Amino acid sequence: MKAKFTIHDCALLNLSQLGDRHGHLTIIENEQDVPFEIKRVYYLYDIPGGESRGGHGHIHLESLIVAVSGSFDVTVDDGHERKTISLNRPYHGLHIKPGMWRELHNFSSGAVCLVLASELYNEEDYIRNYQQYLELSHS
């Protein structure tokens, strides 16, 4: 699995934001605000301080990660370079391309992480061992 993409292909996307004195609304529409068809949505919450999530790569899946409440950091790794992006606005989403290793960490109290995924859950798409990920990304 030679990576087709690098960490430089993973980017923050600005999501539509409407607001007035009554509050704000962010809209995410399939294949308009997200550059892929959304096939699965899930969210992470009640993450204890000091804990990390993610710690895996995907062969085909791409995702959009949004801090809908609170904040956390996402480290993306393409097998050659790493970069960490802080997510702390519900109208910013981090688009992660296929073939990237990702780790989520530094969750604030009450943080909620929304993930929009391009694929249904498929365990065969996951790479859960970092050394194996490095070997696959360099082959």
Predicted pLDDT of residue 31 = 84
Predicted pLDDT of residue 136 = 87
The label of the residue with tokens 């600005």 reads 14
Q: Is the pLDDT of residue 91 over 80?
A: yes
CB 18 within 8 A of CB 25: yes
Write out the catalytic residue numbers: 56
pTM: 0.93
| Cβ partners under 8 Å of residue 107, min gap 6 | 47, 49, 51, 53, 70, 71, 72, 113
Q: What would the CATH number be for the domain defined by 7-137?
A: 2.60.120.10
CB 33 within 8 A of CB 78: no
Task: Determine the Cα–Cα distance for residues 128 and 131; give it in Å rounded to an integer.
Answer: 9
Give pLDDT tens digits for 9-53.
999 999 999 988 999 999 998 888 999 999 999 999 999 878 899
